[in-house]
Amino acid sequence: MRKILSLSWVIFKEISREKIFYGLLFLGTFFLLSSVILQEMVVGEKFKVFKDIGLLSPSITGVLFITVVGANIISKEINAKTLYVILSKPISKNGYILSNFFALILLSTTIIFLITLFGWLFLLINGENWLSGFVTGAYFLFFELLLLSSISIFLSTFLSPYLSMITLFIIYISGHSLSNAIQLSQFAKNPPLQYFLKALSYIFPNLELFNFKINLVYNLPFPKIAFLYSPLYSIVYSLIFISLSFIVFSKREL
């Protein structure tokens, strides 16, 4: 495990120096700053728009990061021939998969932390301490990105970077829209459509289990069991996809 964590740290430092890491941090910060301008155009509670975008910004940035970096994290090593050097050392293919997975989690967590910290400090300077909202949002976002990281690693073991990015994007959109689509289909009175959407809901992960942004911004109640169920859902899914990654990557000829 020490070798796996050491390699994870090396991967973390390498990617954290790349332009895409700083570019996405800048993008997330830009979203936050743009909300200050939008806030002036909206009538209502002060900083409501900033809170909304303050929760949305690390989410979008984190998903973009995992989609782009996760899709290339393994193929880049293969193309650069550095993977052969890594695997020639006393680390297994499974260990290599775990190293990339841990690095991806650490990097996405860093993005969540920095953007969330900036949002909280901005509100604090302006006289409002919304720490509980930011912390709760970051908590659920972490487990959503944990799940997406495991899927991204799995896809990268057998798909090209472009196909991996497209597939993960489809999974992300489906994971956030299927539950609403199923509810809307009940009004259409179309049983085949309902069965089809229901079948898809068993294939794609339900990412709405991690989405409580509206509840937090507008102070609406949500089930407290979500603090336990959502992480458990994420961990189980992640274990499944990482296990599948082990199987696929072990059979891949490098």
User: Buried b / exposed e across 81-112, counting CB within 10 Å, b at 16+?
Assistant: eebeebeeeebebbbbbbbbbbbbbbbbbbbb
CB 146 within 8 A of CB 237: no
| Tens-digit pLDDT profile for residues 90-105 | 678 888 899 999 999 9
DSSP, collapsed to helix, strand or coil, labels residue 90 as: coil
Element (H, E) at 23: helix 19-41
Q: Is the pLDDT reported for residue 169 higher than 90?
A: yes
Q: How far is CA 64 from the centre of its chain?
A: 8
Closest CA to 78 of 8, 161, 145: 161
Angle, helix 161-188 to helix 131-156, in steps of 10 degrees: 120
| Tens-digit pLDDT profile for residues 10-42 | 888 888 888 988 999 998 888 888 877 777 666
**pTM of the prediction?**
0.90
More confident residue, 146 or 187: 146
Q: Is the pLDDT reported for residue 77 higher than 80?
A: no
Q: What is the mean pLDDT of residues 199-214?
A: 90
Residue 200 is predicted with a pLDDT of 81
Mean pLDDT of the chain: 86
Place of tokens 């993008």: 27
User: Buried b / exposed e across 31-53, counting CB within 10 Å, b at 16+?
Assistant: bbeebeeebeeeeeeebebbbbb
